[in-house]
Amino acid sequence: MSSLPPGLILILGGLVLPVLPRSVQAKGALVLPVLGLLQLLFLSEGMSVDVEIAGYSLLPVRVDKLSLVFGYIFYIAAFLAALYALHVRDTTQHVAAMMYVGSAIGAVFAGDLITLFVYWEITALTSVFLIWANRSERAYRAGLRYLVIQIGSGVLLLSGILFYFHESGSLLFTQLIGPGESLVTAGPGVWLIFLAFGIKCAFPLLHNWLQDAYPQATITGAVFLSAFTTKLAVYALARGFPGTEALIGIGVVMTLFPIFFAVIENDLRKVLCYSLNNQLGFMVVGIGIGTELALNGAIAHAFVHILYKALLFMSMGAVLYRTGTIRASELGGLYRSMPWTAAFCIVGAMSISAFPLFSGFVAKSLTMSAVIEGYYVLTFIGLLVASAGVMEHSGIKIPYFAFFGRDSGIRCREAPIHMCLAMGIAAVLCIGIGCFPDLLYALLPYPVDYEPYADFGHSLTQFQLLLFAALAFAVLLRMGLYPPEQNAINLDTDWFYRRLAPNVIHSITNNLANVTDRLTATTRLAGRTLMRSVIRHYGPEGTLARTWPTGSMVLWIAVLLAASLVLYFV
Amino acid sequence: MIFRLLLALCILLVVLELVVHRHSTFPWEGWLGFYAVWGFISLFGVVIIGKQLRRFIKRREDYYDE
């Protein structure tokens, strides 16, 4: 059992699901992550499987602490999401979800780059069905855009691998930029791999597939999507590029720009996507700093983030499921109808905002400590602003506009029991990790010598930062300065490929058509002129077609004879 | 009511800082109420700037559907 590649249980299990009766499929999907997690518990660190294919030695399975921690949380997230999706009677979604999770898990245990690439592409191909399963025109188009970008990331990865293999002669997936080196000195292979990871990790300007596609996914699909793709990228960066300085700057920008978009976004699931993007920034900063403390911070953050982000997506999904809308402008006052969902949502909101005793705090503190230790002053200031930003959109905006605020008049039933159960487990885990951080710290790749609650001053300043941010929100509301929610969308970089590029292509084809038209007209005119002159000369009335009298012919013959006589004589 | 409660809590947090010893690495980080002020300014700033962003990027919901 231990020689079976992790993740394969889910991929094969996913393929078997369609054979089951439709009513059992959801339960089958719930059992698979449990089996997978059991298998993971049997794996021991340092274990690996190597094979030789066509003279190249590959390492399809490599088990170490970094892989294991991602493996555990991926299985936990898959279980929670499958529990949440227990009511779904759609074979496509169950199969796609299980194969997607399985390939993401396979990828974090891949020891070589080729295996990583294969799983990388399977995650793209399977996850798109969670978007298409919404079966609307918008979802179909968003899914296509998502697929093109994800597959593009895979193509870049493969080209990068080929270059890298050519340069280094190795296919092993290990640190790609060594200590003392940087992106500047790296070869094209490493650059391409970095870019491929960057797309999947939603680096600034490469990010918009995330906000474009996830809000179009099905209610349960979005919960799955929120957990795996981007965290697979975080894993890949932590493995390949720890300590790559460029990541610090990229990460800070990532934490900052999405918060402005989140303020004015009306679709609450899209707000969560901007929030997801911002959270990835914190992890990327940690990876960029690259010390043991910082890497532990990034990985701990990924771990807890998967839980509270899934919890937030589940709560918003439950709202969408019961009310049929997720627009902030149409929601409000739902705590009356959905008190449990509201409570779970608040736990998620407090966790992501990193309130002491909640999971976000014990993870983020590691990264922040590493930032302080390294004297990254600007980064520290930036991350503090970003933390207040998280408080704004995920800590307050999400629960406030859905469950409190203006009463929308919507009265509905509480979320179904299995949804509440999934949210409840996630909420317990969020608080549990926040109160007993050692449980999480024990899983991290490096030994942790850090106690988040040892210095009460740290908790105090965190409370100050968050509650004064909340105060600012309340002041803005009272002063009427808070932007009202409106039924509108906001442009992001997707405008370039959804509007600008099609327009440019359209105008080019239009211009080409004009040129062709003109060319045809000119050619036709020239042809007509030519024909006219031909007709003038050769036509029935033309000079050369005239009938000549016999007399003139005889005369010309006489002239010719006379001329030849004269020539002969001379 | 909730607003006043929040305000009272905020004031309490700043007063607590006078009695609790806290460790600071950067000198400015140790100033009394630094985190409080910074948290307030940050959220205020983010919302005001975000609001201005609407002028440039807000479109009708069916903008891409045409």
Question: Each residue of B2-61: pLDDT tens digit?
Answer: 899 999 999 999 899 888 888 888 888 888 889 999 999 999 999 999 999 999 999 998
**Minimum-distance CB partner of A468 among B36, B50, B56:** B36
A461/B22 CB distance under 8 A: yes
Residue of A nearest to B21 (CA): A457
Percent of chain A with pLDDT over 70: 99
Which stretch of A248-262, A494-508, A538-552 has the lowest confidence by average pLDDT? A538-552
Asked if residue A547 has pLDDT above 80, the reply is no
The pLDDT, as a whole number, for residue B66 is 61
Structural domain for B51, as ranges? 2-57
The predicted pLDDT at position A158 comes to 97
pLDDT at B30: 83
Q: State residue A371's pLDDT score.
A: 96
Inter-chain contacts counted by CB atoms under 8 A, chains A and B: 151
Say how far apart CA A101 and CA A179 lie, in whole Å.
Answer: 33
A46-57, pLDDT tens digit by residue?
888 888 888 888
Looking at the domain assignment, is residue B6 inside a domain? yes
Count CB atoms within 10 A of the CB of residue A36.
24
A448 and A372 Cβ atoms separated by less than 8 Å: no
> Would you state the pLDDT for residue B29?
85
**Residue A357 in contact with residue A433, Cβ under 8 Å?**
no
pLDDT digits (tens, 9 = 90+) for A127-167: 999 999 999 999 999 999 999 999 999 999 999 999 999 99
> How far apart, in whole angstroms, are the C-alpha atoms of residue A529 and residue A82?
77
Across chain A, mean pLDDT equals 94
| A365-414: pLDDT as tens digits | 999 999 999 999 999 999 999 999 999 999 999 999 999 999 999 999 99
Name which of A278, A267, A463 is nearest A361 in CA terms: A463
Is B13 among the domain residues?
Answer: yes
Taking an 8 Å cut-off on Cβ atoms, the answer to whether A261 and B46 are in contact is: no
Tens digits of per-residue pLDDT, A307-363? 999 999 999 999 999 999 999 999 999 999 999 999 999 999 999 999 999 999 999
Interface mutation target, options A461, A489, A497, A503, chain B, most CBs of B under 10 Å: A461
Q: Which residue has the tokens 């487990």?
A: A425
d(CA A146, CA A217): 11
Query: CA separation (Å) from A484 to A386, A470, A566?
Result: 22, 17, 112
**What percent of chain A is modeled with pLDDT above 90?**
86
The pLDDT, as a whole number, for residue A118 is: 96
**What pLDDT shows up at residue A1?**
55
Question: Which residue among B3, B10, B23 sits closest to A455, beta carbon to beta carbon?
Answer: B23
Residue B7, domain member (yes or no):
yes
Split into its structural domains, chain B has a count of 1
pLDDT attached to residue A2: 60
Residue of higher predicted confidence among A238 and A555: A238
- Answer whether B13 sits within 8 Å of A385, measured CB to CB: no
Name the B residues in 18-57 with CB < 8 Å from any A CB. 20-23, 25-26, 33-51, 53-54, 56-57
* Partner-chain contact B40 A473, CB within 8 Å: no
Better-scored residue on pLDDT, A530 or B66? A530
Parallel, antiparallel or unpaired: strands A48-53 and A56-62? antiparallel
Q: For residue A343, which amino acid is it?
A: A
Contact A351, A430 (CB under 8 A): yes
- A3 has pLDDT over 80: no
Mutation target for A interface from B26, B43, B60: give the one with most A CBs within 10 A: B43
| Whether A402 contacts A268, CB under 8 Å | yes
- Residues in chain A within 8 Å Cβ distance of B1: none
Which amino acid is it at A130? L
Q: Do B23 and A457 touch (CB under 8 A)?
A: yes
Note the pLDDT of residue A29: 95
